[in-house]
A = this chain, B = another copy of it.
Amino acid sequence: MKIQQVIKENRLALLFQQGSFGIEKESQRVYADGSIVVTEHPKSFGDRAYHPYIQTDFAESQLELITPPNKNIEDTFRWLSAIHEVVLRTMPQDEYVFPLSMPAKLPREDQIKVAQLENPVDVAYREHLVKSYGKSKQMVSGIHYNFQLDPTLVQQLFSGQNDYQSAVDFQNDLYLKIARNFLRYQWILVYLLAATPTVDTNYFRDGTPLKPGQYVRSLRSSQYGYVNDPSVKISYDSLQDYVNTLEHAVNSGQLIAEKELYSNVRLRGAKHARELLQNGIQYLEFRLFDLNPFEPYGIGLNDAKFVHYFILLMAWLDEESTESAVNLGKEKLAQVALEDPLSPTAFQAEGEQVLHQLLAMLADIHSDEKIKNIVKDKLTQFANPTQTLSARLVKAIEEHGSYQKLGAKLAIRYKEQAFERFYALSAFDNMELSTQALMFDAIQKGLKIEILDERDQFLSLQFGDHLEYVKNGNMTSHDSYISPLIMENKVVTKKVLAKSGFNVPQSVEFTDIKQAIAGYPLFAGRAVVIKPKSTNYGLGISIFQQSVHDREDFAKAIEIAFREDKEIMVEDYLSGTEYRFFVLGDETLAVLLRVPANVIGDGVHTVAELVAQKNDHPLRGDGSRTPLKKITLGDIEQLQLKEQGLTADSIPPKDQLVQLRANSNISTGGDSIDMTDQMHPSYKALAVGITKAMGAAVCGVDLIIPDLTKPAEPHLGSWGVIEANFNPMMMMHIFPYMGQSRRVTQNVLNMLFPELK
């Protein structure tokens, strides 16, 4: 199978480097000292019966985190990060995720609980594993790396050759070639990436084989690791051989099931091996990776890229490893696994030679300089074994006194890191915070997420066959199209609300500036708001809070409004406080009061100092990706201070409220205060009614209410609705400055998937 040549001749180099990537990562839940928990799999992680991201592996304490497949490894890492953040922020306060493959301070065997799965077959399988391998071995964790070549590449490679008549046969043999060559050279990855140099003595049933102070490269990949009995012989010569030998091993009782095959390469694409003969091999699973404790998610991105190109080399090489070559590879692996991490490997020359071949391939396919540098760095590690991961790990263990102490320290650090921006899903921070929150909840719940368009905040969510689309966090199929169209148009909104009997301020619309000014007598002596018909950002709005009594003032306000729109409205001004009601379906889930940017004096600090103190709040940031914004001391704020007879250097007396803005927008440093429990229920019911009149499922209703404690009365003096908003903001309810958090994104998911409630 001459791959190189076809790739070069058909200019397939770029396609060759594409593919699909998935990562599964096992790890133990531990207490702060690194010892394994005895608690159940947390209910807050959702239901294991279907969860696509958060599962348990062998033991109840052993998490298995699974990314969806992605077209590039970077995205897979984003998922790995996101799932970790969900797990770390959701798990019990006193629990952590152990960053090392080898468990520390294992409980007594009788205290290790196998995963309490619903299906009795799954539990029986685990009980069998206990008998065959003992519980300790099953507690070892690692990384599985799934890789699929781009199907178009496989198709083009097939078109570019003459040896195969069948595309499926070609595809199978291509994957088998990779598998065999990988098994032949896998020791190189163990040399470079292994990270299981030691383990507690009680890990071994019959006493430790390690001399005091002895470290090895990879206990996990050694005969002491998670490996099948040497008598299990599986052939990779052809797919038919693979299926036959695997089925023989099961039928003869060597394995209880096909999935007990702990080979470092599994052929994937069907539930049972025999089905592969029909379907063809779809992708490969590589299983030999120890957790890298220096990486928060168990594997570094550069290492993952290195693995990708190492796998590609296995396809690229003209070499087709025979069964004896595969066996040679396995022997080398066993030997390298038990080598001293600080000494050179016995096979240094071969390792360097293979990496030189890899560099040659990278040159041929014009790959990125970055990946070349990664390979060059790995190459130098053959001459410098202390730079290998296992050597660096040994050093760290020595420094900390034990791998348990090292693991515990790192586990605590990684959990702290996951809380640094507790309101975000770091890896998806280019999306809106509300979409991040929704994804957080969906990952937690176990809904399958597909990001259809990242810039557009467009997700699909799936549970079984039930598929829903969500844009911008709460735009869904539950709203009818006409609702946002109504809400987009203030005039139409008011007509619809008035028709339904809700209190709306009366207004007159104008499309002509002269006519509008000529209409002054209609409004003289009344408190009015003059505003453009369709802007939404407070631009062009003038308020005559007491009453308008000067024709010139009126005309000026009309002109300002016409600058923003071709149509303006003069509307009754309502006095009272504005509250935002977040309504979903039949319920007002949250009520928020927005207060203009302000500080409160303490008689000691200047305004500038008080602002700096307030800006220290973890929810406040400069950019758009924080729930609250820092207060700036710009021109507008200075002017506002001046009106109160203050400057930034004034020291306001204790408890004096210093107003820094007139507008209450969160985006200009305003405070958000949850008032859900304080609000009289009659107003909450009104907001629901208004939402229904809009035909909306999710709506942000702005009511003006003079006294939120008194029940609503049917006149405009008691309450009035000034706006209804589709796609209402959610973050300000989830992370208010003061008051209780309302996790409204969870309600959105409950609305979309009531079957999951």
Contact = CB atoms under 8 A, between A and B. Distances in A.
Interface of A: 11-15, 450, 452-453, 455-456, 458, 460, 467, 469-471, 475-486, 489, 491-492, 495-496, 499, 511, 518-519, 521-522, 524, 566-567, 695, 726
A478 B15 CA distance: 44
Contacts of A486: 458, 469
A492 B470 CA distance: 11
B489 A453 contact: yes
15 contacts: A13-B521, A452-B489, A452-B491, A455-B567, A456-B492, A469-B485, A470-B482, A471-B482, A475-B481, A476-B482, A478-B480, A480-B481, A481-B483, A481-B484, A481-B726
Contacts of A484: 481
A94 to B, nearest CB: 42
A15 B489 contact: no
Contacts of A467: 499
A12 B492 contact: no
A535 B143 CA distance: 43
Among A455, A467, A480, A524, chain B packs the most CB atoms within 10 A around the CB of A480
Contacts of A11: 521, 524
Contact of A495 (B452, B476, B483): B452
Contact of A496 (B12, B469, B518): B469
A544 B544 CA distance: 61
A71 to B, nearest CB: 10
Given A492-B456, A492-B458, A477 B469 contact: no
- What's the dominant secondary structure at chain A's contact region? mixed
A481 B699 CA distance: 13
B482 A480 contact: no
A344 to B, nearest CB: 39
A385 B399 CA distance: 118
Contacts of A499: 460, 467
Contacts of A521: 11-15
Contacts of A481: 475-481, 483-484, 726
Contacts of A524: 11
Nearest to A454: B511
A491 B458 CA distance: 10
Most B Cβ at <10 Å: residue of A452, A524, A695: A452
Given A481-B480, A482-B471, A456 B489 contact: yes
A702 B452 CA distance: 22
A753 to B, nearest CB: 15
A458 B522 contact: no
Contacts of A453: 489, 491-492
A496 B467 CA distance: 10
A695 B481 CA distance: 11
A566 to B, nearest CB: 8
A485 B467 CA distance: 16
B13 A492 contact: no
A485 B480 contact: no
Contact of A458 (B455, B456, B478, B485): B485
B471 A477 contact: no
Q: Which among A13, A479, A482, A524 has the highest number of chain B CB atoms within 10 Å?
A: A482
Nearest to A566: B455
A469 B491 contact: no
Given A14-B521, A475-B481, A477-B481, 13 more contacts: A14-B518, A455-B567, A458-B489, A460-B495, A460-B499, A469-B492, A471-B485, A475-B485, A477-B482, A477-B483, A477-B695, A478-B481, A481-B481
A492 to B, nearest CB: 5
A155 to B, nearest CB: 12
Given A476-B482, A481-B477, A492 B695 contact: no
A706 to B, nearest CB: 23
